Chains A and B, each alone.
Chain A
């Protein structure tokens, strides 16, 4: 029984102005549609990144292989890393957040719907620009952390690095705009009664990630701008023979790069913290500890960047500091894992596919966490860094962790987003195939790494003792591809023929399950009033209310709040619902920025043409901004007055 339907009779349902067909998607400002666009485009990029990985694994399957040339291999690993991080994992998390955060906090949209549309378009165009490089002289071939001075024009003369800079730049602007939107939405758009301490943990983690992003990304932006100036406009930030400092690039990059890891993993920890309680039929154990350990991880993330640089020769003191800070990360991470275990403890575990993935997340993330401890130790690190051990470690964190977390989220929320259930049986087949093939692919990399195999090599000698491990890895990666095909099949068939999803298929406790599946455009006909962390359970299980809001850890509640858990604001029931109009303005602005980006890349080589392109881009951008300002003026609730 959906709340919105039940109460729809008492409110004025807005006239929803959605353009039909493709136009509706291109002009949308609806957070749910934008969320789906994020998920779909990120998944496409994710599959491309996966194909790149497969090609590399085929090359490495046997020693002295000649399947790929070294230059193609180098382009592939650069694009694989860049794609998975900037165009795959990050936007998958952003997509889930976009769709769910407003629903979970009882809001009708993000705080800035048009800015949200700008983010998705800049992200898509940034990704496309990166991939254009394949067709105009070669993709970037310098690794995803692009160490100077290899990235300088002298050593990397193709435009690949320039496309990397501009592509990352566009997605970076998209991310900063998106993070700003999340911060304002979460801090300011919560339904009455939804205090910070009652927010779903997924929302908490999205908030932490948004803050990390706001502070980490500008540093990368500056570093890439400096690199761009070095390559084209005669500066010498990273040119050592002219006094430039190549280690500075590493500091700037990893000051962004390490927090970036938490940008990727924290939202999925939030997903786990939603899925586990639902399918254990229990509240999360130690809510405050799970939330604040996420904050602690985010904070520590800014103090550990140099553990990526232990072999750089920063000196024993610096290494000791960054090693100690990195060890500290184990504490809040351990706290999270133990609280998840305690959530399951004495629960009634419903082992759905989503729950399989949530448990899979815990079991694999532990391995990634443990291998991280040895990497945090400077002496051990200098043996393991730049070897396949690091490749194993990061994939246990980002694949065994983040990707399994995202799958938990997709199987959990797919019914909400599409109104159809995914095939659970097929989902579990996919889970087991993925778990096994994931371990086949990545576990041997610990061993080949410790047996001396450096990362980013396109070939190796037959007598190094790495042949078996590489063959197993390659076999595993082919099986992984099958697991992803199963998922695609599941999605395609379920969207068409899957069972119709009820509003609340999993007996959920948070607000998104209070509305129909998929939710109406306006989300909530009436703004809900929240009295505890489990508003929907308060309504479904009134006898549990006392227990639910009691217990010292859940924050102070007064007596009247304890009586009813979740109800609708009754007085302004007749409030008109105001939704933003669809508009092409964000799309137009993004197109302008992209053309400007192309101009910048070729400015120093084809001055006149590139400069004209830049002017055209700026004009398109200006036109977009003008129509943006006009529509936001018309849309303004004050306009009528």
Chain B
């Protein structure tokens, strides 16, 4: 999704806009606002059902199923990917093609590692008897973390397409903006994971 302010004349650094913010950046911020409500609703649902789950005969205890060590590793992977994303953006602005390539592909790699870890976790839980239909915990847990995983996957595809589009001239204003807004989304997805990790896994 790469749009630009076509109706304005090209100016040196940024397009002229009323707020002085790039259109696409403002758009992604708005989108993130909407996504915040999406995840807030899913997390709320999880918490509405947590006590109901506990009181039921088919109660499945999150503490027994969730592997804190594995997910701590996953959380660190995602946090590290935010760092590499920042480095990739700054490299693209500097026009440093080599380190841009390194850091952006590192971000993609860490994202893929996270998805791999989640697939492993889901598979493991499934064999332990936790499924969408096994309990309220299964229902709420898989839908929440599954939708987050899908967002990470979309982020990986987004980052890759940005990489192939901008790798020749990562420092043109248009391309640097492509990297920046993909990064915004990536940081948001990371932040959602932090929330899920703290609220679902730690508490």
A and B form one complex: yes
- Where the two chains meet, the residues of A that have a C-beta atom closer than 8 Å to any C-beta of B are 107-109, 111-115, 176, 179-181, 183-184, 187-190, 194, 214-219, 221-223, 225-226, 229, 233-237, 242-245, 248, 252, 572, 575-580, 625, 628-629, 632-633, 635-638, 640-641
Bound-state Cα–Cα, A252 to B44, Å: 10
Nearest CB of B to A18, in Å:
15
A638 with B172, Cβ < 8 A, contacts A234-B133, A235-B133, A236-B139 known: yes
Beyond known contacts A222-B42, A243-B52: 16 more, CB 8 A cutoff: A111-B5, A113-B6, A180-B31, A184-B23, A217-B34, A218-B34, A219-B37, A219-B41, A226-B45, A237-B49, A244-B136, A572-B9, A578-B6, A580-B6, A629-B165, A636-B174
Residue pairs across A and B with Cβ atoms less than 8 A apart, 14 shown, are: A108-B7, A111-B23, A111-B27, A214-B34, A218-B35, A221-B38, A229-B139, A237-B140, A243-B56, A575-B9, A628-B1, A628-B2, A629-B161, A637-B5
CB-contact partner of B2 in A109, A184, A223, A633, under 8 A = A633
The A/B interface has a contact count, at CB < 8 Å, of 150
Contact A187 B19 (CB under 8 A): yes
Contact B45 A218 (CB under 8 A): no
A632 with B3, Cβ < 8 A, contacts A187-B19, A235-B143 known: yes
**Chain A CB within 10 A, most for which of B10, B18, B38, B173:** B18
How many chain B residues have a CB neighbour from A under 8 Å?
Answer: 47
Nearest CB of B to A94, in Å:
16
| Residues 10 to 42 of chain B near chain A (Cβ within 8 Å) | 10, 15, 17-19, 21, 23-24, 26-27, 30-31, 33-35, 37-38, 41-42
Bound-state Cα–Cα, A604 to B43, Å: 26
Chain B residues positioned under 8 Å from A221 (CB to CB): 38
Chain B residues positioned under 8 Å from A244 (CB to CB): 136
Chain B residues positioned under 8 Å from A625 (CB to CB): 1
Main secondary structure of the interface of B (DSSP, over half): helix
Nearest CB of B to A109, in Å:
5
A579 with B10, Cβ < 8 A, contacts A214-B33, A226-B143, A236-B133 known: no
Task: Kindly supply a per-residue 1/0 record for chain B positions 148-174, scoring 1 wherever the CB is within 8 Å of any chain A CB and 0 otherwise.
Answer: 000000000000010001000000111
- Where the two chains meet, the residues of B that have a C-beta atom closer than 8 Å to any C-beta of A are 1-10, 15, 17-19, 21, 23-24, 26-27, 30-31, 33-35, 37-38, 41-42, 45, 48-49, 52-53, 56, 131-133, 136, 139-140, 143, 147, 161, 165, 172-174
Nearest CB of A to B9, in Å:
5
Residue in chain A with minimal CB distance to B33: A214
CB-contact partner of B45 in A189, A233, A248, under 8 A = A248
CB-contact partner of A184 in B8, B30, B52, under 8 A = B30
Bound-state Cα–Cα, A127 to B9, Å: 38
Chain A residues positioned under 8 Å from B136 (CB to CB): 236, 242-244
**Chain A CB within 10 A, most for which of B17, B133, B139:** B139
Bound-state Cα–Cα, A179 to B30, Å: 9
**Chain A CB within 10 A, most for which of B7, B34, B41:** B7
Contact A184 B26 (CB under 8 A): yes
The 7 closest A-B CB pairs, nearest first, are A234-B133, A108-B7, A218-B38, A637-B10, A222-B41, A218-B37, A188-B17
Chain B residues positioned under 8 Å from A575 (CB to CB): 9
Nearest CB of B to A529, in Å:
13
Chain B residues positioned under 8 Å from A641 (CB to CB): 10, 172
Chain A residues positioned under 8 Å from B56 (CB to CB): 243
Contact B45 A222 (CB under 8 A): yes
Bound-state Cα–Cα, A579 to B9, Å: 10
Bound-state Cα–Cα, A576 to B139, Å: 56
Bound-state Cα–Cα, A38 to B45, Å: 35
Nearest CB of B to A219, in Å:
5
Nearest CB of A to B106, in Å:
23
**Chain B CB within 10 A, most for which of A222, A252, A629:** A222
Nearest CB of A to B181, in Å:
12
Residue in chain B with minimal CB distance to A524: B7
Chain B residues positioned under 8 Å from A245 (CB to CB): 48-49, 52
Contact B7 A115 (CB under 8 A): no
Bound-state Cα–Cα, A612 to B41, Å: 31
Chain B residues positioned under 8 Å from A225 (CB to CB): 143, 147
Chain A residues positioned under 8 Å from B8 (CB to CB): 578, 637
Residue in chain B with minimal CB distance to A187: B19
Chain B residues positioned under 8 Å from A194 (CB to CB): 18
Nearest CB of B to A230, in Å:
9
Bound-state Cα–Cα, A219 to B1, Å: 23
Chain A residues positioned under 8 Å from B5 (CB to CB): 111, 188-189, 637
CB-contact partner of B9 in A184, A233, A578, under 8 A = A578
CB-contact partner of A112 in B3, B15, B42, B173, under 8 A = B3
